[in-house]
Amino acid sequence: MSAARVPLKVWIQATRPKTLTAGLVPVMVGTALAARNGIFRPLPALAALVGAMLIQVGTNLTNDYFDFKKGADTAERVGPQRVTQAGLVAPSRVLGAALLSFALAVLVGVYLVWVGGWPVVAIGVSSLLSGYAYTGGPFPLGYNGLGDLFVMIFFGFVAVCGTYYVQALTVPAVVPWAAFPVGAIGTALIVVNNLRDADTDARVGKRTLAVRFGKRFARAEYAALVLSAFAMPALLFFRREAGPWLFLSLLALPFALGPLKTVFTQEGAALNGALHGTARLQLVFGVLFSLGWVLR
């Protein structure tokens, strides 16, 4: 398989397009905040988007590679098909594609460093290293119960604040508050994934929070993340950080009901529906939340 041509649709599958909202939404929200404050800059915003998506793809590909190599992805897998485990792409080519994604992110980062200076170096290097270390390296974050924290930090606070920074060269206090619901729903995606795979992960020593503390904990964590995301617009409004348009994001609440029900009533492969539903929730919430900042 290593010498064969891999069809484009297989590479698209390998990137896990349904999870790419985790890279898109933080940039969308950070840019909306910049536009609200009159400092929107299209080229840095676009570069932040491309960089975030490349890091997301690289993280997904390294996850595909290392989960196969460490035995977490086997014939017993109940999640969406992984290209390495399914034999669709040779492991070395998947790892090579991951490294290429990270390398392209570095190239984009060079421009952002020129725009934003050395703080962008710290953001970029930490994001790249953490993306690789999610399942790779001597202390893989996802295997040691730190995957949830990684997503909250890097696909929430770092991505939103970094997007704002490369346009404004400063980060006002409201931006981390606005980043919280973005990171919370992004983390909920990981919680569903870990809840679904808890039994198989436990057998290979992948100690996610769902394995460490049990499925009941994972379900409670999912609910807390989703509900706290929907509580944030009200908190920001009553803190006088935002106007009433921010309540537009509550229109995404119906998109949360189906995944919540599935998480609390289903196990195994049935949770794939909740995974897709949470990604859809993140996108809808992100669009409405962004509009809430832009509209006055």
Rounded average pLDDT over 102-114: 96
What is the rounded CA–CA span in Å between residue 67 and residue 74? 9
State the DSSP string of 51-64: HHHHHHHHHHHHHH
Q: Which fold has domain 8-294?
A: Farnesyl Diphosphate Synthase (1.10.600)
Say if residues 173 and 209 touch (Cβ distance below 8 Å).
Answer: no
**What per-residue confidence (pLDDT) applies to 70?**
85
Express each pLDDT in 132-176 by its tens digit.
Answer: 998 888 899 999 999 999 999 999 999 999 999 999 999 999 999
Separation CA 264–CA 5 (nearest Å)? 42
Half-sphere exposure of 7 (CA within 13 A, CB side): 5
Phi and psi at 54, nearest 5°, equal -65, -40
Spatial separation of the C-alpha atoms in residues 161 and 167, rounded to whole Å: 10
**The pLDDT of residue 1 is above 50:** no
State the Cα–Cα distance between residues 58 and 132, nearest whole angstrom. Answer: 8
Which pLDDT value is given to residue 3?
Answer: 57
- Residue 288 has which token pair? 């409405």
In this structure, how many other beta carbons lie within 10 angstroms of the beta carbon of residue 245?
16
Residue whose tokens read 């170096």: 121
How far is residue 213 from each of residues 1, 83, 178, 193, 278, measured CA to CA in Å?
Answer: 40, 30, 29, 15, 22
pTM over 0.85: yes
What mean pLDDT is reported for the chain? 93
Closest by CA to 59, choosing from 201, 211, 172, 186, is 186
Closest CA to 290 of 264, 255, 251: 251
In whole angstroms, give the CA distance from residue 29 to residue 287.
Answer: 8
173-210 pLDDT, tens digit each:
999 999 999 999 999 999 999 999 999 899 888 999 99
Q: Using alpha carbons, select from 166, 169, 211, 167 the residue that is nearest to residue 191.
A: 211
What is the C-alpha to C-alpha distance for residues 153 and 187, in angstroms, rounded to an integer? 9
**pLDDT surpasses 50 at 2:** no
For residue 75, the model assigns a pLDDT of 67
Q: How confident is the model at residue 72 (pLDDT cuts 50, 70, 90)?
A: confident
* pLDDT tens-digit map of 238-285: 999 999 999 999 999 999 999 999 999 999 999 999 999 999 999 999
What ranges do the domains of the chain cover?
8-294
Q: Which amino acid is at 74?
A: T
Distance (Å, rounded) from C-alpha 278 to C-alpha 284?
Answer: 10
